[in-house]
Amino acid sequence: MDFCCLKAVSITTRATKLNKMKLPIAILLALTSFCTACVSINDVHGGLDLPAPGAVTGIKPAVFDLSDPRQVDQLTGKLSEKRALFIGEIHDRQEHHQNQLRLIQGLYERHPDIVIGVEYFQQPFQSHLNDYIAGYIDEREMLVRTEYFKRWNLDYRMLQPILRFAREKHIPVLALNISDEIHHKVFHSGIKSLTPQDREHIPDDIQPISDAYKKRLLTIFNTHPESNTFDMFVEGQQLWDETMADSAATYLKQHPQSKLVVLAGLGHMMYGDGIPRALDRRLGGKFSAIAINGRQFGDYPGIADFILESSSNKALPDSGKLGISVDDSSKDVVITQLGPKGAALDTGIKVGDRLLALDGIKVKNFPEIRSIMYDKHPGDVVRVKIRREQPMAEDEILMFDVTLR
């Protein structure tokens, strides 16, 4: 899981030497996808020197404020000769996803034959993304079938405008990421641990990463080791980058007129390392441009081709909540706790009740609950269907109308 619990915070950076960049530990952890534990930003202090390539150009990347439509048009014009645009993000930054949508819309106006490649969905679920874009299934069904809330878990409302625009314009969306099952094996036991069946789903051509990239990963690993060894840590990153690049390259070779927009974390593309380098190697040239979100990165020469900023930083509104905790580890979804100020507290729902359905939609696990509740608002009324076990009689089926808080 891609450090989904990291919360956005105001971040300040300062340039040190040309070959180092100083960033708070929290953002360093956001730049790599190996952090499997949830961390509160309030508990993270200080910073680290993150190594940068020693031979980068001294020219700082151009900065574009994409809240200005003229600058969107200017930037999309500069990208017209590239086949692949990488737009790097910190995953839980709403304004980063807004910038991604603005660029996608601008590129679509100039070149409608585009495809969007995303880190958020895993390759085994590509058919379900296809069905969503084609209009065969709705958004909730797509989120259930792709296991989005199990495998990614970022607030989907941040990505929703991008996916809805793609559906409206019939823009293909590629699930670039490798499955959790394979990646977790490599992360904890190395590529050597993969079975012949696993290897059928990874690229044949996996190349060593650059020394500068490895030094950045070592700095992060030494601060927050989440793998058994550094070599496995590196192999996990290689597998992620190479798999996403391989999927992107395959599509571009099959569709020579298409342009690709890749949405992924900053750590997969800083200084051209990661996915862009692996994609260009497969395509046989320099076909990629890199834009990363965050004005603070504009002080570092060579980190990207373009830096994106936005004057808009409006947070998502609070979502409506039932105020219950559940355990879905058995065949039933069992209510284990009612929040002391939660919406369900005074409705008659009890701890131990079996949750059967929300608004008439059956639920079998927590991700299915999330797929129903993600876009609810405080004040919305949800009909909750439960089964209450009776030791000496038949179980009761009960309905409750809960006003969300």
Tell me the per-residue pLDDT of 8-52, one tens digit each, with 9 for 90 and over. 333 333 333 345 665 555 455 555 444 432 222 233 334 556 666
Question: At 54, is the pLDDT very low, low, confident or very high (cuts 50, 70, 90)?
Answer: low
For residues 6 and 279, give the distance between their C-alpha atoms in angstroms, rounded to a whole number.
28
Full DSSP string of 301-314:
TTS-SEEEE-S--P
Residue 236 or residue 80, greater confidence: 236
Q: What is the pLDDT of residue 56?
A: 62
pTM: 0.87
**Cα–Cα distance, 106 to 337 (Å, whole number):** 47
Give the residue, 391 or 252, on which the prediction is more confident: 252
Among candidate residues 222, 146, 151, 163, the one with its CA nearest the CA of residue 2? 151
Give the residue with greater pLDDT, 398 vs 36: 398
The β-bridge partners of 259 are 114
What angle separates helix 230-254 from helix 211-223, to the nearest 10 degrees?
A: 130
What is the pLDDT at residue 126? 98
Give pLDDT, residue 4.
31
**pLDDT per residue as tens digits for the range 173-207:** 999 999 999 999 999 999 999 999 999 999 999 99
Q: What is the CATH number of domain 56-210+220-309?
A: 3.40.50.11550
Segment 78-104 mean pLDDT: 94
Residue spans of beta strands (DSSP E) within 6-83: 14-15, 20-24, 47-51, 62-65
Taking residue 366's Cβ as centre, other Cβ atoms within 10 Å add up to 17
Position 138 scores a pLDDT of 97
- Higher-pLDDT residue of 140, 54: 140
pLDDT of 68 strictly over 70: yes
Specify the pLDDT at position 40. Answer: 28
Q: What mean pLDDT is reported for the chain?
A: 87
**Do 41 and 13 meet the contact criterion of CB atoms below 8 Å apart?**
no
H/E stretch holding 185: helix 180-189
pLDDT of amino acid 1: 32
Task: Give the dihedral sign, CA 396/397/402/405.
Answer: positive
Q: Which CATH class is domain 324-403?
A: mainly beta
Going from the C-alpha of 49 to that of each of 42, 83, 150, 259, 293, the distances in angstroms are: 20, 33, 34, 36, 20
pLDDT in tens, 256-309: 999 999 999 999 999 999 999 999 999 999 999 999 999 989 989 999 999 999
For the chain, what are the domain ranges? 56-210+220-309, 324-403
Alpha helices in 255-389 (DSSP H): 275-283, 366-373
